[in-house]
Amino acid sequence: MNKVFVSAASAIADIPDGAVLMAGGFGLCGIPENLILALRDRGTRGLTVISNNCGVDDWGLGPLLQSRQIKKMISSYVGENKEFERQYLSGELEVELCPQGTLAERIRAGGAGIPAFFTPTGFGTVVADGKETREFDGRSYVMERALFADFAFVKAWKADRQGNLVYRHTARNFNPMMATAARVTVAEVEELVDDGDLHPDAVHTPGIFVQRVIVGPHYQKRIERRTTREA
């Protein structure tokens, strides 16, 4: 089965207003940048976006904030994005902050078909407000609901035409979990190979979880901050 689309625009053309979207990446590492820009250009609005963070002001998910296309963010880190801060403080953007490990497990649970789980993280803090809590073996836990999306944007290094994915180093981050936790997963890759070229033991995400593949051009691979010191 050939899951390759000719462009990012064609791969995301059916995403409706109000959709729930997962976007892989950690900071600016391993982000599906071409899919994000295609969604910005399409003008889809009212999005709920699940991602570790929201990029920076002009890159990653930042452009979707600038164009007011995101209604709600579910994330664990909001630093280094002034527009995010401005929209949140002004009441334009709804934000659900989630501890990073809990966010990862909520996504993993969604992909595994587990509706909820208990974690000690956040008990006794605002993270637990409005949530069920229970005690197990003398320790208190918070119940967290799994996350599942309408669409997931993931970034991989290589793919074949059946959607089998290989990630590279730390660019793997949230991408494999998100690929399993959406109704439609769209994978953006740097290199497309022929079926059979990927060794089965090297595949990180099996193609059964991936419905669409695009090859993204001109990757910028930015870093968020350069720190230098005098010699």
Question: Residues 182-224: pLDDT tens digits?
Answer: 999 999 999 999 999 999 999 999 999 999 999 998 787 777 6
81 found inside a domain: yes
Q: What are the pLDDT digits (tens) for 37-92?
A: 999 999 999 999 999 999 888 899 999 999 999 999 999 988 778 899 899 999 99
Total residue length of the chain: 231
The residues near 180 (Cβ < 8 Å, ≥ 6 apart) are 108, 110, 111, 112, 205, 209
177 found inside a domain: yes
84 found inside a domain: yes
The predicted model scores a pTM of: 0.92
160 found inside a domain: yes
126 found inside a domain: no
132 found inside a domain: no
How many domains in the chain? 1
Domain coverage including residue 43 = 8-116+146-215
List the CATH number of the domain containing 190. 3.40.1080.10
109 found inside a domain: yes
195 found inside a domain: yes
